[in-house]
Amino acid sequence: MTPYTERVIQIIRSIPEGKVMTYGQISRLAGSPRGARQVVRILHAMGKKYKLPWHRVVNAKGEIAIPDDEGAELQSFLLQSEGIELIEDRLISLERYQAHMEENT
Q: What is the DSSP letter of 54?
A: G
Query: Cα–Cα distances in Å, from 46 out to 24, 27, 62, 84?
Result: 18, 16, 22, 24
Reported as a single tens digit per residue, the pLDDT across 25-44 is: 999 999 999 999 999 999 99
Q: What is the mean pLDDT of the chain?
A: 93
Reported as a single tens digit per residue, the pLDDT across 55-105 is: 999 999 999 998 888 999 999 999 999 999 999 888 999 999 999 987 654
> Percentage of the chain surpassing pLDDT 70?
97
At position 82, the amino acid (one-letter code) is E
